[in-house]
Structure 1
């Protein structure tokens, strides 16, 4: 019997409703990227209620095209529309998500990650066929900026305020002056946030991707932090044994081909009584416990970015972005850490503390 003959009409209608919502969201994603790129959301936030002509003047864009963009935003529920006045505006909540990069819920920047999945899909598919995955260094550059802008709000609003204080004695050591390693630092957002908060400490960010390291160095120079913040090209397995305390891995351990080898390297790079902080995407240990909208995003990112990246590296562990605290803790223990605990959680983040 065919699937069409077996389908239950009410269930089919419900599923088609879900699919229409998903197709609309997928198409609207490109309009979010464009609105962010052109400064449309930021201009709306500053201007208040505005029509297409006004927004076009404010942003140096074309009125007719902006009118269609505004219609797309309104039908997506991304902006407010008042039929009586014909004006569009951002609610405070919408402004936090789309216009304010300092907001803890800023999301517009993360759409670069989504764009990279679409742009790189043909090569990712080939990596599925060959088994070689697709390396981080082989990806479209929008992935690197998108990743920084997606994770930076969580780091900015949690790292110094709650994650580091949740670790045993680490915040006090940073305040007094410590030598810190940030592994898989990317563009250096996490490194620089810590450096600004702890002026007596010195920081070294490591990443195997030279272009990201170059960007991180430029940002450190712009902020006047190059005297105590350094960025080096190097994999986690190549971190020198310099007595760091703490060392940190932000949303990168699961991307590594050999996370156990990385854990062993970091164990050797720490002081004998040092601390490793591992921040990972929030997950539980079983698929059935990860069925929610946040984990949906992370599983999709894992299928298109994280797991292909891991399979492209020696070791080919393929942990995935939803490894969960059980597997992550086991890997850290296999790397030589005797004590591993969950130190903090947010809806998006899982923070592990590992001690030698």
Structure 2
């Protein structure tokens, strides 16, 4: 056999081995996600390194032993928890108790799988235009997990102070619209920090807003209000109402972004500020492939394929379907076409780019 042929076969096998490892990792990830969603990892962390039987663990968790035992087998096979065959007991080593830090990553695949087969149908020429948002069970909760750290740890600590003039204005008191607020994590973070400002959170998801309103009641904030509305048709009496608009990973998801931007321009006061945070990517594929954080780029493309693009395209006629990977260049172009002046384009954090805009005083 020729040397070149052997090299080709070796290369093919190396490729298959790499893909196999990725696929097997994904399968193991489903088991990990199940432990996080059910709370079994929390139970094991509470029990510490003291070995327990599957029945004891199930009793502590208030769950069915048969299901718990099967899950424990999965996690033992994945070498995540330890198993003593003599006593048939299980435990999670203390140095692995930080596994819950990966909850957002673990729940990504199961959540996106909700629309997997529906998205596959969209590929056909005679298939549906897209997939409804409600096909993705608990997607709002996933977004709260993935975006929560930025809202809690950076939004008012670093992000807003990077705009010193706006920062001072918020301290003094402004009218703010949080667009696509979801469960209100970002709205609450700003409202607590700037008590003299009034914050409105707007979202289409009634379930997300219900959680936001429950939290509002618990917190007793008087400078927050949540509205269930389509941002392409905001209240008519909102013209020139707001000093600051904040939008985080929303614009690329919209079916009709041109209409939304037109409305955003209407409700923002002349001279007001708009912050749009989008994925920290480019509009050119090669530029994305050249970026150092290839894993993050892959995750963004998967999110875009399985959720962002198909939900945007779902309404059909005229839907944009930009997807998460439309990139900063196209985002900037869309904002400028809507008559916003893009002042700066800077990295908000590793995964997000901040397009800070102004509405001109005239026009």
Deviation at 1:302, TM superposition (A): 0.4
- Structure 2 Cα separation of the partners of residues 63 and 353 of structure 1: 53
1:343 and 2:346 aligned: yes
Contact 1:38–1:59 (8 Å) recurs in 2? no
- TM-score, normalized by length of structure 2? 0.83
- Offset at residue 12 of structure 1 (A): 2.1
- Aligned positions of 1:127-142 closer than 5 A: 127-129=122-124, 130=127, 132-136=129-133, 138-142=134-138
| Corresponding position of 2:274 | 276
What CA distance in whole angstroms lies between the structure 1 residues aligned with 2:340 and 2:242?
15
Indicate whether 1:218 and 2:220 are aligned: no
- Mapping of 1:256-275 within 5 angstroms? 256-275=254-273
Q: How far apart are residue 57 of structure 1 and its match?
A: 4.8
Report what 1:321 is aligned to: 324
Match of 1:181 in 2: 177
Is the contact made by 1:332 and 1:340 (CA closer than 8 Å) also made in structure 2?
A: no
Deviation at 1:14, TM superposition (A): 1.8
1:166 and 1:141 mapped to 2: Cα distance? 36
SS at match of 1:10: helix
Q: What CA RMSD, in Å, does the superposition of the two structures yield over aligned residues?
A: 2.8
Task: Say if 1:68 and 1:209 are closer, same or farther in 2 by CA, change over 3 A.
Answer: closer
1:55 is displaced (CA, Å) by 4.2
Give 3-state SS (helix, strand or coil) of 2:270's partner: coil
| Pairwise CA distance, 1:353 | 0.8
Find out whether 1:249 has 2:247 as its counterpart: yes
Q: CA deviation at 1:275?
A: 0.9
Unaligned runs of 5+ in 1: 99-105
Q: Distance in 1 between matches of 2:343 and 2:60?
A: 53
Counterpart among 328, 333, 336 of residue 333 in structure 1: 336
Structure 2 unaligned blocks of 5 or more: none
Contact map agreement 2:177 2:202 (CA 8 A) in 1: yes
Aligned to 1:122: 117
In structure 2, the CA distance between the partners of 1:339 and 1:80, relative to structure 1 (3 Å rule), is same
Calculate the TM-score normalised by the size of structure 1: 0.84
Provide the C-alpha distance between the structure 2 equivalents of 1:267 and 1:245, rounded to a whole number of angstroms.
Answer: 11
| Alignment size in residue pairs | 341
After superposition, residues 57-96 of structure 1 pair within 5 angstroms as 57-61=59-63, 66=68, 68-70=70-72, 72-73=74-75, 76=78, 79=80, 81=82, 88-89=91-92, 95-96=97-98
